[in-house]
Amino acid sequence: MDFNPMMPIWLQVVTAIKHDLVCGIIQPGSKLPGGRDLAVKYSINPNTAARVYQELEKEGICETRRGLGTFATGDPDRIEGLRRTMARDAITGFLREMEQLGYSHAESLTLLTEEENAHAGK
């Protein structure tokens, strides 16, 4: 994974894991790699990896079961909530970018519909 070295690494890994969970790359309820394995997988510091799981656990995205390991949440509501949040973030980001380019929200919506039609037409 390519990191932006100017931003906290733990945050970027948290986002990546959330993304994988929502997209189904990580199956809900599945076992997540141990702290050290996570560190090796993403080539990050073990303390950073620990922080990642700490944050995810705080947000309820994963839970550590004594002696068994860390597991991704299987709660469909929680995952759906996460999906929504990430979608909203994507949309906000899109709109902000379009604003910078000089498009109003209404214009952005029109362009979006146009683009979608063009896609469907293919």
Partner 1 sequence: MLESKDLTKVFGNKTAVDHVNLKLDAGHIVALLGPNGSGKTTWMKMVTGLIKPSSGSMLFRGEPVGLESRKHIAYMSTEPYFYTWMTVRDVGRYYEDFFEDYSAQKYEALLRKMELDMQMKTKTLSSGMMAKLKIAVTLARNADVYMLDEPFNGIDLLARDEIRASIIEAAGPDKLLILSSHLVEEMETIADQAAFMHSGRLVEKRDLEEMRMTDGVSMTDRYRAIYGHVEG
Is the C-alpha dihedral spanning 93, 95, 96, 102 positive or negative? Answer: positive
Place of tokens 């510091």: 45
58 is a contact residue toward partner 1 (CB under 8 A): no
CA torsion sign for 41, 58, 16, 20 is: positive
Examine residue 44 and tell whether it contacts partner 1 (CB under 8 A).
yes
Cβ-based nearer residue to partner 1, 46 or 81: 46
**Interface with partner 1 includes 9 (CB under 8 A)?**
yes
Question: How long a stretch of residues is the chain?
Answer: 122
Residue 47 interacts with partner 1 (CB under 8 A): yes or no = yes
Site for partner 1, rule CB under 8 A = 3, 5-10, 36, 39-40, 42-48, 51
